[in-house]
Amino acid sequence: MINGKDGRSASGTGNGRRPGRSATGRPGSKFVRALLRDRKGTAGAIFLLLFIVLAVFPGQIAPYNPAYIGFPRSLPPSAAHWLGTTSQGQDIFSQLIWGTRQSLLIAVAAGGLATLIAVLVGVSAAYLGGIKDGILSLITDVLLVIPIFPLIIVIAAYLRSAGLTDIIIVLGVLGWSYGARQLRVQALSLRNRDFLTAASVRGERSRYIIVAEILPTMTSLIVATFLGAAVFAVLTAAGLQFVGLGDPSAQSWGTMLYWAQNNEALGAGMPLWVIMPGVCIALLGGAFAFLNYAFDEISNPALRPVRRLARTPTVRSGGQPAAVPLVSDGQFPGAASGPRPGRLLEVRGLSVAYATGAAPVVAVDNVDLDLDEGEFLAVVGESGCGKSTLMLAISQLLVKPAGITGGGVVFRGREMAQMSDKQLRHVRWQEFSVVMQSAMNSLNPVMTIGQQMADACKAHSAMSKKEITERSREVLRLVSIDAVHLGSYPHQLSGGMRQRCMIAMALLFTPDLVIMDEPTSALDVVAQRSLMRQIKELQDRLGFATIFVTHDISLVGHFSDRVLVMYAGQVAELGSTSSLFGTPRHPYARALLEAFPSVRGPKIPLTGIAGAPPDVAAPPPGCRFQPRCADAMPECSVIQPPLYDMGDSVVRCLLYQDAPAGTGTLAGRSARVAHAAATADGARPEQAGVAQPAPLLEVDDMSRHFNLRGFWSKKTLHAVDDISFAIGRREIVALVGESGSGKSTVARLLTLVYAPDSGEIRFEGKPISALRGRSGRLAYRGHVPMVFQDPYASINPAYRVSHGIMRAIELHRPDLRRPDRRAEAIRVMEAVGLSPAETMLSKYPYELSGGQRQRIGFAQALALRPKLIVADEPVSMLDVSIRVGVLNLMAQLRAREDVSILYITHDLASARYVADRLIVMYAGHIVEVGPAEQVMAAPRHPYTQLLLSAVPDPRAPRDEPGPADAAEPPKVVNPAPGCRFEPRCPFAIDECRRITPQLGEVAPSQFAACHVALMEARTQSPATVAPAGEQAPGGKVQDR
């Protein structure tokens, strides 16, 4: 019979829930090993094997012929008949053994048939989309809801003799709907994954994509579907046979139960006749269910059993003795000597580890820090450095498998680890609060903002309902959010608004300390800058201390009092902001500060930091930064450096072991820069010469709109409207814009993912619309490949690195014979700096870092011998220190491989660093075009000016006032004519609201789409069009 959920995927939410983070890795041996490690999986597998043996060799195991009716009737169990005999005189035990065959056959055959149909329907529905998806989904849902068993009964009544084949077919044809639904959900989530778009951009056929790219990554869910279908088949078949709708002469467990019931076995004292077949059914079903359950746990790491973490006094890796801190207790740089009355937080020797795998993985290693009232401490580091874990540890929010393994946190004189849960809860939110990383998911989706604020208020005070509302409105006002949003649900607010709501909530009780973990990371540049200012302003006004965690050191330069730089779980350097930015001592801190291309001032060639952060599970012996350190000494690879006190900062680096406190012995930045300039090897971004007369790619008045699904009204999203530009040979053009500007749509238009609604794209003079059939488009794709933004999502995790490159070569390089293809793959790997190429080619993506994977993206593009590479935000998801490496790579490729690059980004600084020309987009329009250096020095369009002013420049002496614009770029739906920037523009005139501005020349080879800028250029009064940075806050004097 079919029970509630019987062995079907017990997670209920499908596997599409957390893409990327809980990747199943590749199928195959890794999975089987995981399965066997799980007790339930092993138990299930053993039972299944047992039944398989019984099904294959019943004759050898069963003592008698099950159909033989010559034995004495209704015997109790005995030596001759282990389970007794039936009312007809058959041996029960033999019947049981022989019944295995039919049940297993039904399970596998019907289950397999159902799974096959489920895969076909589910995956096709997800991939085809649109109407076809709607129809398939409807059929699935209808079949799911119609009660199957009554339906089968009705069918069986008409069919009369339900033989084995009939049962299998009926069960298979009716039992696929549940699996199809789940598979569709997962396939939908995969559909938007970049590696599928990458495959179609590469020129693969749909068939190939479904079979070779989608299905392998869905293996675990397909297997789970099969297991669930098998259980369904076994139970339903047993039920059918039990009520007499099967073949009564068949040898199966269900039929045994039928006869037992008909002969009143229970009442006649033959319980085993009834009990044993049921037990067998349950065991077989249970075996499938256990395997299914083990599957769920493997694919969803959150479900795995958790282990306890032992608390040891000191947990060190590498076997080194505990480093003796040279900083005495209570004395810290940046603070006066001796414990201060305003001391808020003292963290001593804090270590955190995760109890995963064989040995605990140390995420935070022996961190000391202090915080005084009202202080702004920035914690900076790249991915994997442990900064978020550190924050969770300080706020006592760690959950298994993570745990504090050493040290303590003292808040206002009280040791937090010794507080009871109740005391801790009392302190929370009132004395310190936390703003989580990325508020996207930090608010309860089923409660309104007001309700969540009320929850916090009620938990800590006895405020009346009126007072709660009043207070909630007040904090929302602090962050400039309209109080009407108290009744909004989180999904109704934009990202920036949700973030500000979280900050407002954190201030409900004006705590002494607010910990903020990357509160601005998900925001656009302009919104980010304005939020930072707002936070600083709030801090000045309300007087709370804050620990601000970020990966972007340039962001905090003007706001923080002290900065803590973390690397690989340890404190690398901790000191006052001025000392860190002025004379960074730790080589990592120095390299980090220098990894930011600047928007003003001279263009300096950067080198970034080679390599990647160490694997926290196996850190290098000695200094953790040593493998990447340009100043490493021989002893650095052996000795773990302790913290040295330099007066205004502490630094963990052997370079300072002999230096007296208060001195920095290494060359300052200017010397280092000179050194880098002298040894730059192709790292200097070359200025391209004048662009070739015949452009490589031209875009004329191109538009692309998307229809939004609205039942009553027709809403059209104008992603890209009437844009025109050109790209020449051997040129790097940067396309700059924030979210919603349309830049990603441009990338997809150029790579044939979308077709333009109007306008034309011409490649080498020939229009794209004239491309003939698949071969024409394939040829174009060979000239214009794309590199994607997310290095983790754009490579299929099921295959080795060589797969994508070889496919690209097979599709686009017919000139190469088979033996030469491998050589070509090696060539492109070396060209992008991934060596040794052979080793790299045979690795799986999960073994590589983000920067390495992004280089593979470029390698795949290069293998085509392209003319133009479209790079869609290739560095925005990479760590800062690795970004420069990829930017330099782009410049090298342009020089060595004779290729143009369209570099799409939201980051003006990197655009300036690497591009020859700059195109700025806003809300689907191009607003400014020109040589990169020239536009950056003197932007004419007000939006470009705004963007430029929002980019943080750590080298500037102080924070510039700049505009107070906090608005986010609009979604352009059913737009009216007129300039789209007009609502935010400080210079807008009447004409701006009525007439859409077109691009016009405002300076030699510089074009802007702005009425005001054009007017001024025509009247030739460049004095009023001031370059950014010197602009007075109020803007120009202008008649409105």
Partner 1 sequence: MPFVLRRLGFFVVTLWAAVSLNFVIPRLMPGNPVEVLEGEHPHLDPQAIHSLTVLLGGSYQQGLAAQYVTYWQHVLTLNFGISITTSFGTSVTAMVAHALPWTIGLVGVTTILAFILGTLIGLVSAWRRGTWLDSALPPIFVITSAFPYFWVGLILIYIFAIRLGVFPQEGAYNFLNDTPGLNWHYLVDVFEHAVLPGLTILITAIGGWILTMRNNVITIMAEDYVRTARAMGLKPWRIMWAYVGRNAILPNLTGFAMSLGFVVSGAIVVEYVFNYPGLGTLLLTAVNALDYPLMQALFLLITVAVLLSVLAADVVTALIDPRTREAS
Question: Rule CB under 8 A: which of 376-395 touch partner 1?
Answer: 395
Site for partner 1 in 441-460 (CB under 8 A): 441-447, 455-456, 459-460
Contacts of 602 (CB under 8 A, 6+ apart): none
What strands, in cross-sheet order, belong to the sheet with 715-727? 715-727, 697-708, 758-763, 766-767
Question: Under the criterion CB under 8 A, does residue 648 sit at the interface with partner 1?
Answer: no
Beta bridge partners of 571: 566
Q: Which listed range, 220-228, 235-243, 669-677, 840-848, lies at the site for partner 1 (CB under 8 A)?
A: 235-243
Whole-angstrom Cα distance, residue 172 to residue 160? 19
Nearer to partner 1, 79 or 399 (CB): 399
To the nearest whole angstrom, how small is the minimum distance from the Cβ of residue 51 to partner 1? Answer: 13
Question: Under the criterion CB under 8 A, does residue 144 sit at the interface with partner 1?
Answer: yes
Nearer to partner 1, 240 or 809 (CB): 240
Q: Which two tokens stand for residue 303?
A: 């479900």
| DSSP state letters, 858-911 | HHHHHTT--SEEEEESTTTTS-HHHHHHHHHHHHHHHHHH--EEEEEES-HHHH
The number of angstroms, rounded, from the C-alpha of 706 to the middle of its chain's C-alpha atoms is 25
SS3 253: helix
Site for partner 1 in 865-894 (CB under 8 A): none
To the nearest whole angstrom, how small is the minimum distance from the Cβ of residue 507 to partner 1? Answer: 12
Question: Under the criterion CB under 8 A, does residue 720 sit at the interface with partner 1?
Answer: no
Q: Which listed range, 229-237, 344-352, 694-702, 846-854, lies at the site for partner 1 (CB under 8 A)?
A: 229-237
Q: Which listed range, 360-368, 593-601, 660-668, 704-712, lies at the site for partner 1 (CB under 8 A)?
A: 704-712
Q: With 0-12 CB in 10 A as exposed, 13-18 as middle and 19+ as buried, what is 710? A: exposed
By the 8 A CB rule, do 188 and 16 touch? Answer: yes
Of 130, 305, 601, 819, the residue at the interface with partner 1 (CB under 8 A) is 305
Whole-angstrom Cα distance, residue 540 to residue 521? 22
Of 25, 27, 77, 244, the residue at the interface with partner 1 (CB under 8 A) is 244
Of 7, 496, 742, 797, the residue at the interface with partner 1 (CB under 8 A) is 7
Nearer to partner 1, 231 or 750 (CB): 231
Whole-angstrom Cα distance, residue 912 to residue 900? 16
Of 107, 109, 201, 434, the residue at the interface with partner 1 (CB under 8 A) is 434
Question: Under the criterion CB under 8 A, does residue 207 sit at the interface with partner 1?
Answer: no
To the nearest whole angstrom, how small is the minimum distance from the Cβ of residue 266 to partner 1? Answer: 5
To the nearest whole angstrom, how small is the minimum distance from the Cβ of residue 207 to partner 1? Answer: 31
Whole-angstrom Cα distance, residue 458 to residue 468? 8
Of 98, 127, 195, 242, the residue at the interface with partner 1 (CB under 8 A) is 242
Of 32, 36, 69, 266, the residue at the interface with partner 1 (CB under 8 A) is 266
Of 302, 633, 667, 964, the residue at the interface with partner 1 (CB under 8 A) is 302
Q: Which listed range, 72-80, 238-246, 562-570, 924-932, lies at the site for partner 1 (CB under 8 A)?
A: 238-246
Q: Which long-range contacts (CB under 8 A, 24 or more apart) does 47-53 make?
A: 47/283, 47/284, 47/286, 47/287, 47/290, 48/284, 48/287, 48/288, 48/291, 51/100, 51/104, 51/283, 51/284, 51/287, 52/104
SS3 866: coil
Q: Which listed range, 298-306, 563-571, 625-633, 664-672, lies at the site for partner 1 (CB under 8 A)?
A: 298-306
Residue 892 CB: number of other CB atoms within 10 A?
18
Q: By rule CB under 8 A, what string of x and - marks binding of each residue 393-432 to partner 1?
A: --x-x-xx-----------------------xxxxxxx--
Place of tokens 């207790």: 329
To the nearest whole angstrom, how small is the minimum distance from the Cβ of residue 518 to partner 1? Answer: 12
Q: Which helix (H) or strand (E) holds 570?
A: strand 570-576
Whole-angstrom Cα distance, residue 660 to residue 647? 9
Site for partner 1 in 17-56 (CB under 8 A): 17, 40
Q: By rule CB under 8 A, what string of x and - marks binding of each residue 155-194 to partner 1?
A: xxxx-------------------x--x-------------
Q: Which two tokens stand for residue 893?
A: 């490729």
Nearer to partner 1, 136 or 632 (CB): 136
Whole-angstrom Cα distance, residue 892 to residue 885? 10
To the nearest whole angstrom, how small is the minimum distance from the Cβ of residue 99 to partner 1? Answer: 13
Site for partner 1 in 475-504 (CB under 8 A): 489, 491, 502
Which candidate, 495, 403, 427, 261, places its Cα nearest to that of 969?
A: 495
Question: Under the criterion CB under 8 A, does residue 141 sit at the interface with partner 1?
Answer: yes
Nearer to partner 1, 707 or 1019 (CB): 707
Q: Pairing between strand 925-931 and 900-905?
A: unpaired
Residue 932 CB: number of other CB atoms within 10 A?
24
Beta bridge partners of 717: 706, 973
Question: Under the criterion CB under 8 A, does residue 227 sit at the interface with partner 1?
Answer: no
Nearer to partner 1, 273 or 1007 (CB): 273
Question: Under the criterion CB under 8 A, does residue 286 sit at the interface with partner 1?
Answer: yes
> Around 76, how many Cα atoms within 13 Å sit in the side-chain half-sphere?
2
Whole-angstrom Cα distance, residue 669 to residue 687? 24
Of 120, 153, 164, 322, the residue at the interface with partner 1 (CB under 8 A) is 153
